[in-house]
């Protein structure tokens, strides 16, 4: 890695931002992972970008689905963050280890988390080792405001798939 690349990696390691759990389903299979590369990207119309690593099982399912469910992770949900960020669905059934129900277009909604939205996939954008899914909200559950579980708090979690 050149020094510009390593300087950039050092700079972004100092940033902090909210983490989300993204879930999806296709043909009876379910997937979900913890993500940090995500943001609202437009107000009118409302748009959100969720980026998935091409190595993740969640990405492989999301390639063939038209709906993702995005759950902001609240600060007390460390166990869910560890399950969805530290394990891969290639090896364990994450949905056997948490409470969920079928949500919009069959995508799993994590019932422990009160805030989530379902997003219709409008576009997929290749950024390199991550693909951005441009989402239009199609269903929303917005309850209490919560403190987020942030990237800097989740940094100790060893990703289930290498980034």
Tokens in use for 12? Answer: 């972004």
Question: Helix, strand, coil: what percent of the chain each, to 5?
Answer: 20, 40, 40
Told to check if 137 binds ligand FMN by CB under 6 A, we report no
Position among 23, 25, 26, 33 found at the interface with ligand FMN (CB under 6 A): 33
- Strand partners of residue 136: 120
Question: Among 26, 53, 65, 67, which residue interacts with ligand FMN (rule: CB under 6 A)?
Answer: 53
- Which helix (H) or strand (E) segment is 3 a member of? helix 3-13
Q: Does 132 engage in binding with ligand FMN (CB under 6 A)?
A: no
What is the pattern of x (binds ligand FMN, CB under 6 A) and - over residues 99-118?
Answer: --------------------
| Minimal CB distance residue for ligand FMN | 160
DSSP string, 55-117: TSHHHHHHTT-SEEEEEEPBTT-HHHHHHHHH--TTTS-GGGSS-EEE-GGG-EEETT---EE
Is 119 near ligand FMN (CB under 6 A)?
Answer: no
Q: Which residues pair with 156 in a beta bridge?
A: none
Binding status of residue 83 toward ligand FMN by CB under 6 A: no
The stretch among 3-11, 45-53, 69-77, 109-117 that binds ligand FMN (CB under 6 A) is 45-53
Interface with ligand FMN (CB under 6 A)? 19, 31, 33-37, 51-53, 56-58, 85, 87-90, 130, 151, 154-155, 157, 159-161
């Amino acid at each position: 890695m050149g020094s510009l690349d390593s300087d950039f990696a050092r700079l972004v390691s100092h940033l902090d931002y909210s983490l989300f759990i993204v879930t999806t389903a296709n043909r009876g299979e379910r997937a979900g992972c913890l993500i940090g590369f995500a943001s609202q990207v437009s107000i009118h119309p409302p748009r959100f970008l969720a980026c998935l690593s091409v190595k993740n099982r969640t990405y492989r399912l999301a390639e063939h689905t038209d709906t993702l469910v995005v759950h902001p992770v609240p600060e007390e949900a460390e166990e869910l963050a560890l399950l969805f960020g530290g394990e891969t669905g290639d090896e364990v059934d994450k949905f056997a280890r948490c409470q969920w129900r079928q949500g919009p277009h069959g995508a799993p909604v994590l019932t422990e988390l009160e805030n989530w939205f379902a997003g219709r996939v409008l576009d997929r954008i290749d950024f390199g080792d991550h693909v951005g899914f441009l989402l239009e909200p199609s269903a929303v559950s917005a309850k209490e405001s919560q403190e987020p579980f942030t990237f800097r708090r989740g940094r100790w979690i060893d990703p289930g798939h290498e980034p």
